[in-house]
Amino acid sequence: MDPYLVILAGGISSRMRKSENTALDPGLLRDADLKAKGMIGLGDAGRPFLDYLLANADAAGYREAVIVVGERDRSIREYYGSAGRGDRFLGMSLFYAVQPVPSGRSKPLGTADALLHGLESRPDWAGAKVTVCNSDNLYSVEALRCLRDAEEPCAMIDYDRDALSFEPGRVQHFAVIEKDSDGYVRSILEKPSLEEIARAAGPDGRVGVNMNAFRLSYDLIMPCLRRVPLHPVRQEKELPTAVMMMIAETPRAVRAYPRAEHVPDLTDKTDIVQVQEYLRNLHDENPSRQR
């Protein structure tokens, strides 16, 4: 299977920087205010959060990763290497694509735009299938391997909402996945209403949510990434919207793979202590051994 991965790390971390947490030590506060979220040093070893994600990707069999970085952030490239192409992390080669901030805006154009820049930096991946994920979520080895091994043109992880260890008020705003009886995605419903959540539930009441973990055909998604419109409220080009455009053009293109597990998330400063505790409890501090 194509061992290719794109990690979206081009955002400006506005919610992280605006949030507060007086329990954090000065070093972590400085990381949270100045660095990309994936570069916040976590765990007793103080390693960047991104180390753990890359280690899981390596264990899942990925061999090339493009990290999409913001034009204003140097922390990722300075930490992982300055070559710009083919920097090494465990068994993977790392590459970088820069997501710009357009003139007249204070932040980039969103996750669909980030993936567009990532894929445009690797025209040699045309015809392949590419896994895409966030830099501020720690996806398991098993989830990443499931995506890499997916036989369908496209796939996504369908996370059981009840297995995520977030407060209910946060989870209820997660995008839910509506599927047909064979497990193919019909729609991804952002900020769902209670009626939409009920409609997306399976016969057993299970509700699957999107955590931005996709396996996408380079050739199918690229035209949609180029045409995806700005969200009318958030004014960003969002990856789930591009995926829905692709499904409209190629029905049953995306298979949903169900998983029931927590996905550590770094959205704001209140998440940092919880993620530290997760890493201490469930992972060895050496990221090369993360499983």
Please, which residues bridge with residue 154 across strands? Answer: 254
Half-sphere exposure of 248 (CA within 13 A, CB side): 10
What is the pTM assigned to this prediction? 0.92
pLDDT of 140 strictly over 70: yes
pLDDT of 43 strictly over 70: no
The Cα–Cα gap between 191 and 194 comes to: 10
pLDDT value at residue 282: 64
The model's pLDDT over 63-113, given as tens digits with 9 standing for 90+, comes to: 999 999 998 888 898 899 865 566 889 999 999 999 999 999 988 999 999
pLDDT value at residue 89: 92
pLDDT band of residue 290 (cuts 50, 70, 90) is very low
4-284, superfamily in CATH? Spore Coat Polysaccharide Biosynthesis Protein SpsA; Chain A (3.90.550.10)
pLDDT of 246 strictly over 70: yes
pLDDT value at residue 13: 66
- Residues comprising the chain, all counted: 291
pLDDT value at residue 291: 34
The Cα–Cα gap between 21 and 29 comes to: 8
Q: How far is CA 230 from the centre of its chain?
A: 19
Q: Provide the pairing of β-strand 129-134 with 214-217.
A: antiparallel
Q: How far apart are the first and last CA of the chain?
A: 20
Share of the chain above pLDDT 70, in %: 92
The Cα–Cα gap between 270 and 156 comes to: 28
The Cα–Cα gap between 54 and 270 comes to: 23
The Cα–Cα gap between 141 and 273 comes to: 22
CB 61 within 8 A of CB 46: no
